[in-house]
Amino acid sequence: MTYDSLVTNLQTLGLFITADVIQQHFTDPKAQDDNFLQVMDAALLAELSERNDKRRVSLLRRAKLLHSPAQLDELLYLPERCLDQQLIARLKTGRYIQDHRNVCIFGASGTGKSFMGKSLGVQACSLGYRTLYVRFPSLMRELLYLEIHDSKQYEKRIQFYSRISVLLIDEWLLSAKKHGYAQILLDLMDSRYGETSTIFCTQLDPEGWSAAVDLKAVGQSILGRAMSNSFTIHMKGDDLRKIFNDKP
């Protein structure tokens, strides 16, 4: 086999980056005596890197996080924020996703809940997990409409959300006392319980979740499914928007 035929075969298999690296390498007179296995290894690593980058971009786009600036490495560990760096480092590995555990991020307005949640969502995409960012009010309007007008589409939509590895719900339980929300939330949590990971971003302390919906008994069931196997991050400190707006 010649290098030309090898390159052709690799291109036929769709390994265009690998083929290009090998072709460039062995058309260089200085590289003629290089170890072939090392060259092939480097070429395949380049191929994998390119494919991983494309998959990451695709996952970020589908997650609605493609243009998010949120990154775990950009977190501000100010003393007043009391962030647990060991916990965040643990979450960064994505092991909680493998273990189907949830993450609850709660605190006052402006303390960085959404940034923390989106950072975890971006990291999940980088690790190759199907992720989706949604706002609680929009999610509930969609599901309530379908539940009332099209029960089959409602069931399909619940199944859709049940298959997402990491569902990031911002503004969790905002105005959740609306009639009909409680059962929908229970359906959603039931479909994801023990099978996937959900990230909740909310101003509500988890202790108040059961009272946040119109049916307290259902609220307790929702709380149990959401928090029974959950990591909790309490966001503290000053309003970060004031800190950044005061910068020169």
Q: Which 3 state secondary structure label does DSSP give 195? A: coil
pLDDT of residue 248: 41
pLDDT of residue 5: 75
List, edge to edge, every strand of the sheet that includes 197-202. Answer: 131-135, 166-170, 197-202, 102-107, 230-235
pLDDT of residue 36: 66
Domain boundaries in the chain? 3-62, 72-245
Which conformational region is residue 14 in: left (phi greater than 0), alpha (psi within -120 to 50 degrees), or beta? left
**Per-position DSSP letters for 113-169, written without gaps between them:** HHHHHHHHHHHHHHTT--EEEEEHHHHHHHHHHHHHH-HHHHHHHHHHHHT-SEEEE
- 10-residue mean pLDDT profile of the chain (248 residues): values are 66 69 67 64 70 85 95 91 95 97 95 96 96 97 97 97 98 93 94 96 92 86 90 90 57
CA 145/CA 29 separation, integer angstroms? 67
Q: Which 3 state secondary structure label does DSSP give 232? A: strand
Q: What is the pTM of this model?
A: 0.81
Give the CATH superfamily of 72-245. P-loop containing nucleotide triphosphate hydrolases (3.40.50.300)
pLDDT of residue 245: 60
